[in-house]
Amino acid sequence: MIFAIIFILLLLLEVAYFGVAKRFNIVDYPVGRSSHATATLRGGGIVILFGAWLYAAFFGSDYCWFLLGLTLVGTVSFIDDLRPQSIALRLVAQSIGMSLLLYQLEAFITIPCWILLIALIIGVGILNAFNFMDGINGITGSYSLAVIAPLVYLNISDNFIPMPYLYVTALSLIVFCLFNFRNRALCFVGDVGSISIAFILVFAIGLLMLHTGNYSYIVFIAVYGVDSVMTIIHRIMLHENIGQPHRKHAYQLMANELKINHLHISLMYMVLQLAISFGLIFSNINPYLYLGITIILLSLAYILFMKKYYHLHNEYP
């Protein structure tokens, strides 16, 4: 009953946000580099932030520092959706938020400073990877559900995080998908949604890794990670400014040049990540060997795909 109430509240809050977005023209208008053709409400992913607050309201929270960090990065990201902010401001907010997340994980007590710095950089990188990968209908919601699914499965036996935390996050994503996982989306996730869900997933995976001592669980976000890193390397090789928007991700080439349906691409990323994640859980391979093989295979697949289809790519303003 509690989860049904939360679902209804999330649905009502999302619809209410649509009214606010229309009133204040929080709209994403298509430009040359866009993968959509019609004006669409931006920032629908704020429902993910609402979900985190509702979880704390209904279940209480021992994760006050985490929630504070999430609220910070989510708020700054929403402001960026309203009016573009400087990269420096966003990175500072994300670094502070990630520091609060690490503090919540008690990493400052158990982990050496130099490893903490690496963890901070990787954490901020993951937030931005999720932001970069949000470019077509359905991809952020479906992929994030693919990350949550193995976490729920492992939590049944390992109990590394309160299960309602994962359930409420999943409900937030489902509500968002109702309006976004469509051929013609009613809203986009916005920076507020992509950054917020990445922050939540990093926290959950971080708890799992610290609970088990197994850091190979980073493979739960391997598909996004490899696509993002390989695209950055590709753009550096092309002597491009990696801070500028572009359409060079593999999924963008599929959607724009190969004209593959957005939802089919989103489902492909979702299914691939699910297969990789549960492959780790059920295989008898050394988990770090599995992680290494996964990264190599995904990287090779990216390179072969680009070699075959990148010549179709057109530059967009």
Which structural domain, as residue segments, surrounds residue 150?
9-28+38-312
Do the domain assignments include residue 144?
yes
3-state helix vs strand vs coil in the chain, percent to 5: 75, 0, 25
SS3 61: coil
178 CB burial (10 A radius; 0-12, 13-18, 19+): middle
- pLDDT digit string, tens, across residues 141-174: 999 999 999 999 999 999 999 999 999 999 999 9
Count of domains observed in the chain: 1
Do the domain assignments include residue 4?
no
What values do phi and psi take at 112, rounded to 5?
-60, 155
Do the domain assignments include residue 2?
no
Q: Reply yes or no on whether the pLDDT at 32 is more than 80.
A: no
Token digits of residue 199: 């922050």
CA distance 81 to 102: 26
Q: Percent of the chain scored above 90 by pLDDT? A: 81
317: pLDDT confidence band, cut at 50, 70 and 90? very low
Do the domain assignments include residue 220?
yes
Do the domain assignments include residue 1?
no
Do the domain assignments include residue 55?
yes
- pLDDT digit string, tens, across residues 44-98: 999 999 999 999 999 988 899 999 999 999 999 999 999 989 999 999 999 999 9
4: pLDDT confidence band, cut at 50, 70 and 90? very high
CA distance 96 to 101: 9
Residues recorded for the chain = 317
Do the domain assignments include residue 3?
no
If one counts every other C-beta atom within 10 angstroms of the C-beta of residue 53, the result is: 16
116 close to 108: Cβ distance less than 8 angstroms:
yes
Q: Amino acid identity of 235?
A: R
CB hemisphere CA count around 263 (13 angstroms): 9
288 close to 216: Cβ distance less than 8 angstroms:
yes
163 close to 169: Cβ distance less than 8 angstroms:
no
CA distance 238 to 256: 20
CB hemisphere CA count around 29 (13 angstroms): 3
If one counts every other C-beta atom within 10 angstroms of the C-beta of residue 20, the result is: 12
172 close to 50: Cβ distance less than 8 angstroms:
yes
**Considering only 31-45, 66-80, 251-265, which range has the smallest mean pLDDT?**
31-45
Please provide the average confidence, as pLDDT, over all residues in the chain: 92
37: pLDDT confidence band, cut at 50, 70 and 90? low
Do the domain assignments include residue 317?
no
Quote the pTM value.
Answer: 0.94
Residue 242: what pLDDT?
78
